[in-house]
Structure 1
Amino acid sequence: MSQQQLKGAWALVTGASSGLGEDFARELAAQGMNLVLAARTRVPMEALASALRSAHGVEVVVESIDLSLPESADELQRRIAARGIQIEVLINNAGFGVYGEFVSTDWARIETMLQVDLMTLTRLTHRYGAEMAARGHGRILLISSIGGYQATPLYAAYCAAKAYVLSLGEALNDELGRRGVTVSVLSPGITATKFLAVSGQRATFYQRMLMMQSLPVVRIGLKALARGRASIVPGVANALTVFGNRFLPRRWQSAIAYQLMKN
């Protein structure tokens, strides 16, 4: 479907209560798309929904759901189907990081992170990817990280999860692209959201220097999705970081990442 044809169609944005998810919702509403907002915290989503209805005249549905629960993806899909809504664009944005030495970190936090960042994301992609493929059209945006391009001490499990997301999305861009479905991966660097506060890290000098605002990141991701790009790294400094790693031994990449990430 063209951008014009998407007006009046439905988009699902996960992690829509703040940060990138909120800006994805704002941008899609401005393009005339109806929205399903999904996250655990209802109040900020209701406020956002009210503002988007008033500003753009679109329909907005709020689904409060804990995406760290194993059956949450299926439950969310059932709720949306019960409303008779067909999802044309899936923004698989929900996720968070856990900072610290791997073996010193509480396992429950790591497991919860992996459920959201890996399993729920994959299940939603599988369910809605199948629906879109059957129709012959649809768009899916997965959110990875520049950390997905290299091993990163102190974010070991998080960056490993994002490497999975990057690989999954790039593979599906080819696989589902043959059936009319676009899958793109957006891999931001550090962004001015609640990421650091949730992960438990204080911003390093490197992060403060390279931090991007949320809205430009979102716009770059949506443009890449509209163009059918398999993956995109927003920001010149982030793109140069990823490109430069190609010329370094992997052991050096990890050692440098540790120095840049440690508090």
Structure 2
Amino acid sequence: MARQQDLKGQWALVTSASSGFGVDFAHLLAERGANLVLAARSAGPMEALAALLRATHGVRTHVVAIELARGGVGVELKDRLDKEGIDVEILVNNAGYGVFGPFMEQPLARTLDMMQLNMASLTELTHAFESPMAARGSGKILLVASIGAIQATPTYAAYSATKAFVLLFGEALHEELKGRGVTVTVLSPGITATGFLAVPGQRATLYQRMVMMQSRPVARIGLQALYSGRTSIVPGWLNALTAWSNRLMPRMVQRKVATALMKN
């Protein structure tokens, strides 16, 4: 069966494209013919990915080694791509990480860095690339949140709060932009087999091992939701059930359940 090439010639920007979801998003977009801008701190893994995408899918690639967790990154990245003559049609705001453990036991600088990347940088990038999309009447933006966005999560207190921002921000933008030809979709994964747990140093709990999904199917679900114009998606029926059941649960109970599920 011939691959669908409906994105042929379009440029897609994927942040945190050196590992995890970023690699999967890049492969899935390239399968549909999209050219790829890969942006992250480490150039080496992205150069290897770019070569693989070119060889496998025949797409164009552009690698940008950039520190995303700092102010001004949206304008800087947009300016750099403008100089290359690259107009981004699809933005996958994937960059983010978690800080695990009691809030007061974590270095404040680490928490603030996470907040910068997960919220402020995501907002700056969205602002920088949303405007030209709206001006030309076409574009797609995928924001990666988390199932943690739907409830307070002790030991991931600040992380879940950042992802709640992403979820509400994205859903609001969906309404603002849908009449201007721009689709904004929020993907809220549960625990996934990426390097997420390794970054904060958490050992997977029994619950997490039971519900863990592979990253490629999760990325595919997110992109399918984006293509179909959905506002928000929680991938996996167990994760969707959790999100739905939280609507019926008092917030005090939500917190206690989340605490229990985070324990080994």
Contact 2:73–2:124 (Cα < 8 Å) also in 1: no
Structure 1 stretch 63-72 or stretch 18-27: which is displaced more? Answer: 63-72
Write the mapping of 1:74-153 to structure 2, written as runs, cut at 5 A.
Answer: 74-153=75-154
Write the mapping of 1:144-183 to structure 2, written as runs, cut at 5 A.
Answer: 144-183=145-184
1:74 to partner: Cα distance: 1.9
1:104 to partner: Cα distance: 1.3
1:202 aligns with 2:203: yes
1:71 aligns with 2:96: no
Contact 2:6–2:32 (Cα < 8 Å) also in 1: no
1:4 to partner: Cα distance: 5.4
Cα deviations by residue, 1:95-142 (Å, 9 ceiling, x for unpaired): 000001111110011011011000010011111111100111100000
Give the structure 2 partner of residue 14 of structure 1.
15
Q: Could you tell me how far apart the structure 2 residues matched to 1:80 and 1:247 are?
A: 46
Percent identity for Structure 1 against Structure 2: 60
Q: TM-score, normalised by structure 2?
A: 0.97
Contact 1:6–1:32 (Cα < 8 Å) also in 2: yes
Contact 1:166–1:185 (Cα < 8 Å) also in 2: yes
Contact 1:147–1:163 (Cα < 8 Å) also in 2: yes
Contact 2:6–2:33 (Cα < 8 Å) also in 1: no
Cα deviations by residue, 1:146-183 (Å, 9 ceiling, x for unpaired): 00000100000000010010001111111011111000
1:200 to partner: Cα distance: 1.8
Write the mapping of 1:216-255 to structure 2, written as runs, cut at 5 A.
Answer: 216-255=217-256
* Aligned partner of residue 28 in structure 2, secondary structure: helix
* Aligned partner of residue 46 in structure 2, secondary structure: helix
* Aligned partner of residue 17 in structure 2, secondary structure: coil
Contact 1:41–1:64 (Cα < 8 Å) also in 2: yes
The amino acid that maps onto 1:108 is A
Q: Could you tell me how far apart the structure 2 residues matched to 1:246 and 1:72 are?
A: 36
Cα-Cα RMSD? 1.0
Q: Could you tell me how far apart the structure 2 residues matched to 1:78 and 1:199 are?
A: 33
Give the structure 2 partner of residue 62 of structure 1.
63
Q: TM-score, normalised by structure 1?
A: 0.97
* Aligned partner of residue 256 in structure 1, secondary structure: helix
* Aligned partner of residue 198 in structure 1, secondary structure: coil
1:246 to partner: Cα distance: 1.1
Contact 2:54–2:61 (Cα < 8 Å) also in 1: yes
Q: Could you tell me how far apart the structure 1 residues matched to 2:210 and 2:6 are?
A: 40
Q: Could you tell me how far apart the structure 1 residues matched to 2:176 and 2:5 are?
A: 25
Runs of at least 5 residues in structure 1 that lack an aligned partner in the other structure = none
